Amino acid sequence: MYFVYALCDSADPSTIRYVGKTNHLRRRRDAHLLKARQGEHSYRSAWIRQVIASGRDVHLVTLAECQRECEAFDLERQHIARLRAEGARLTNLSDGGEGPAGCVASSETRRKMSESRRGYKVSEETKRKIGDANRGRPSGKRGLAVSEETRRKLSAANMGKHYGPRPPRSEEFRQKMREIALQRRHSEETRRKIGDMSRGRKYGPRSPETRAKMSAALKGRVMSDEARGKMRLAKLGVKRGPNSPEWNQKIAAANRGKVMSPESRRKISEAKKGKLWTEDQRRRMSDGVRAWWAKRKQQEHAA
């Protein structure tokens, strides 16, 4: 099925500004809008941009329907000629009737096109020119809302696709990334901007629904021994130093009067039930308790 359509301003639907031919009305209208947003230099696109900038919309009206493309070409020419004779300000640059619609290249044609482009490399100068031409140009998809039907089709098309796991990174590559990350420091201006963005932001307590989702996502997740070892090695030698008196007062004020609920106590008890400490953990806990008691005795003697 082929259609002869007209484009008009939503504020003046009786005034036709463009006549065309297509086999898919919605797709054709979206293509016109996309070209206009991408900055196409044509009379039609300039008119579409003017309509959108004024806060109005571009309407598509069906003028005729037919079964064959040649009939659609003839009807398009007739409508353009009639409207021009009536004095309509059409944005058409031709008399109509040209351009194949729904043309699908054969497998042989696609193979030849692929072979002709194989091995072709764009020069650095061409890349620079393309970058300069597109720099600052707004995306044609910006502002377009994706319908639920389109989202459903995209989901169905990508469902079940597996692109394979990422190849393992070499130790040399990891070492380079680690060195780059260690040398990376935010500038004072960047820190100030991050602070200004986060200052005054109130997240509030998480809702029970959010807590349930987080709990369900983390439930059953067991940290591997390798991950535990990396975290331990990362924290070894990190000296945080004693907290300042002001910081201790803040912590005390925040925890004062806070009572752990029976549900939280039950969960902690169940989590620790049956847990076996390793010899290394027992030794470190014992050394920590001894050091704490020794420090306390020194403070008592000093007093």
The CATH number of residue 38's host domain is: 3.40.1440.40
Whole-number pLDDT of residue 8 = 92
Question: pLDDT class for 165, splitting at 50, 70, 90?
Answer: low
* Coil, helix or strand at residue 142: coil
- The radius of gyration of the chain's CA atoms, rounded to the nearest angstrom, is 35
Is residue 154 in some structural domain? no
Tally of domains within the chain: 1
Question: pLDDT class for 46, splitting at 50, 70, 90?
Answer: very high
Question: pLDDT class for 237, splitting at 50, 70, 90?
Answer: low
* Coil, helix or strand at residue 28: helix
> 25-37 and 43-53 helices cross at what angle (nearest 10)?
80
pTM beyond 0.85, yes or no: no
Is residue 291 in some structural domain? no
Is residue 118 in some structural domain? no
Domain enclosing residue 12, as ranges: 2-92
Please, which residues bridge with residue 60 across strands?
Answer: 7
> CA-CA distance, 127 to 233, in Å (whole number)?
45
pLDDT per residue as tens digits for the range 86-99? 998 999 888 887 65
Average pLDDT (240-252) is 80
Of the chain, the end-to-end C-alpha distance in Å amounts to: 98
Q: Residue holding tokens 């659609």?
A: 72
pLDDT greater than 90 at residue 7: yes
Average pLDDT (225-247) is 77
pLDDT greater than 60 at residue 103: no
Is residue 206 in some structural domain? no
pLDDT greater than 60 at residue 101: no
Average pLDDT (7-16) is 91
> CA-CA distance, 93 to 208, in Å (whole number)?
62
Whole-number pLDDT of residue 202 = 62
- Average pLDDT of the chain is 84
Is residue 40 in some structural domain? yes
Please, which residues bridge with residue 59 across strands?
Answer: 8
Q: Residue holding tokens 């009737």?
A: 97
